[in-house]
């Protein structure tokens, strides 16, 4: 029978540790970790994500600020705001909620965020550090996937991990994190030929494509570990992943549910990054 990898449960344990560490940090340093989130426009899904991040921050004892900007905000205005926040010692993490309106260049905005405060781990410098094995703020969703696999003692060393989806925020950084765990990694995307043949060779299958119930049981090896990163809202309002849960769960040894799998882990890793950023900024200010 498939064992569920419960992202809520694992998250609550990690968040309890973060909360404890935060209390100690505040007591010792008199500094409260502070995450600042900027949202441009009023996309309902983005607003929900931002609200959840704020709630999660407050629950572990962080300060959390949300700056809401109108959809017509100019790129220059956003850049100026980020430059001010980069200099603001009371802010430890800066996150610009994506996607941004079309007239704003996302890559340019990400590059403006101080690498020390880039808690999403999207800045090209962080990406370079990740690939070079240097200390960095790792992107949240991929690190959440690895934490979940580790919690359930899933062996990664020498095993074949197949990722579907090559986005900058999920698929690509996951390659590196899985390599760091000594897995053998294959990455597939929309132009991959014979996708099923590759997915069927996976000991660990990680799916991040954004297509509801795309992966069916006949695409999965018996007893594979299946991680579903996808979040899709059906017309009925129900949330489903990229994996057809009911049928794939008859074959998989371990599987993540949607919701309640990778989603909570992503926010948990954001909390971890914010605490790390606050600690790193504090120790670099002491060493000046
Ligand atoms: P994206 O749209 O940036 O990329 C999708 C990827 O899927 C592309 O690389 C594309 O080549 C690949 N793809 C599309 N159709 C395919 C097909 N038929 N066969 C093989 N590959 C195909 O997506 P993203 O931002 O990485 O997000 C993917 C999904 O993960 C979405 O549902 C998103 O909502 C979800 N997501 C969840 C979390 C979380 O915290 N759980 C975080 C980020 C993204």
Which domain CATH number covers 164? 3.40.50.720
Query: pLDDT value at position 199?
Result: 98
In a domain, 120, yes or no: no
Is the pLDDT assigned to residue 45 strictly greater than 80?
yes
Cβ of 162 below 6 Å from ligand 1 = no
Residue 17 lies in a domain: no
pTM: 0.97
65 and 171 within one domain: no
Same domain, 175 and 231: yes
pLDDT above 70: residue 288:
no
- Same domain (yes/no): 100, 172: no
The CATH number of the domain holding residue 70 is: 3.40.50.10860
| Sheet strand arrangement including 160-164 | 3-4, 254-255, 225-228, 204-207, 160-164, 184-188
pLDDT value for 36: 98
The domain of 212 spans 140-263
pLDDT tens sequence across 179-195? 999 999 999 999 999 99
Digit-coded pLDDT (tens) for 121-135: 999 999 999 999 999
**Does residue 242 have an active-site annotation?**
no
Do 254 and 146 share a structural domain? yes
The verdict on the CB of residue 199 being under 6 Å from ligand 1 is no
- Which residues pair with residue 34 across a beta bridge? 63
pLDDT one-digit tens code per residue, 126-170: 999 999 999 999 999 999 999 999 999 999 999 999 999 999 999
227 C-alpha to ligand 1 centroid (Å): 13
Pairwise CA distance, residues 185 & 152, whole Å: 20
Q: Which of 106, 165, 242, 273 to mutate to test the pocket of ligand 1 (most atoms within 8 A of CB)?
A: 165
Report yes or no on 196 lying in a domain: yes
Say whether both 259 and 172 belong to one domain. yes
In a shared domain, residues 178 and 255:
yes
- Verify whether residue 276 is a known catalytic residue: no
Across all residues in the chain, what is the average pLDDT? 97
Task: Return the pLDDT at 286.
Answer: 73
pLDDT, position 233: 94
> Does the beta carbon of 35 sit less than 6 angstroms from any atom of ligand 1?
no
In a domain, 59, yes or no: yes
Q: Counting atoms of ligand 1 from 1, which one is nearest the CA of 210?
A: 32
Whether residue 159 sits in one domain with residue 103: no
- Let me know whether 162 and 110 are in one domain: no
Q: Looking at the 3D structure of the chain, how many domains does it have? A: 2
5: in domain: no
Residue 277 placed within a domain: no
Q: Is 167 helix (H, G, I), strand (E, B) or coil?
A: coil
Whether residue 157 is found in the same domain as residue 256 = yes
Same-domain check for residues 144 and 254 = yes
> Is 120 a catalytic site residue?
yes
Q: Tell me if 164 is assigned to some domain.
A: yes
The answer to whether residues 248 and 165 belong to one domain is yes
* Averaged pLDDT for residues 92-113: 98
Asked if residue 79 is part of any domain, the answer here is yes
Does 249 lie in the same domain as 198?
A: yes
Please work out whether the CB of residue 266 comes within 6 Å of at least one atom of ligand 1: yes
Query: What phi-psi label fits residue 129: left (phi over 0), alpha (psi between -120 and 50 degrees) or beta?
Result: alpha
53 and 270 in contact (C-beta within 8 Å)?
yes
């Amino acid at each position: 029978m498939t064992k569920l990898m419960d992202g809520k449960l694992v998250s609550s344990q990690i968040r309890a540790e973060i909360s404890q560490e935060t209390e100690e940090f505040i007591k010792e340093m008199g500094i409260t970790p502070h995450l600042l989130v900027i949202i441009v426009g009023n996309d309902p899904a983005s607003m929900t994500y931002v609200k959840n991040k704020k709630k999660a921050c407050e629950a572990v004892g962080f300060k959390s600020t949300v700056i809401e900007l109108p959809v017509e905000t100019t790129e220059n205005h956003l850049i100026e705001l980020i430059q001010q926040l980069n200099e603001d010692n009371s802010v430890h993490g800066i996150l610009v909620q994506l996607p941004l309106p079309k007239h704003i260049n996302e890559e340019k905005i990400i590059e403006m965020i101080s690498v020390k405060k880039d808690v999403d781990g999207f800045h090209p410098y962080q990406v370079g550090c990740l690939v070079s094995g240097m200390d960095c703020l790792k992107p949240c969703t991929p690190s959440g996937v690895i934490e979940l696999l580790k919690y359930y003692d899933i062996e990664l060393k020498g095993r074949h991990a197949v990722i579907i989806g090559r986005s900058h925020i999920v698929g690509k950084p996951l390659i590196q994190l899985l390599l760091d765990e000594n897995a053998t990694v294959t990455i597939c995307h929309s132009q991959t030929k014979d996708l099923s043949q590759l997915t069927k060779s996976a000991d660990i299958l990680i799916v991040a494509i954004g297509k509801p119930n795309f992966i069916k049981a006949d695409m999965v090896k018996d007893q594979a570990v299946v991680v579903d990163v996808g979040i899709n809202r059906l017309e009925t309002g129900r949330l489903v992943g990229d994996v057809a849960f009911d049928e794939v769960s008859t074959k998989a040894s371990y599987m993540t549910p949607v919701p309640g799998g990778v989603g909570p882990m992503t926010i948990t890793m954001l909390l971890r990054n914010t605490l790390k950023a606050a600690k790193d900024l504090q120790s670099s200010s002491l060493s000046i």
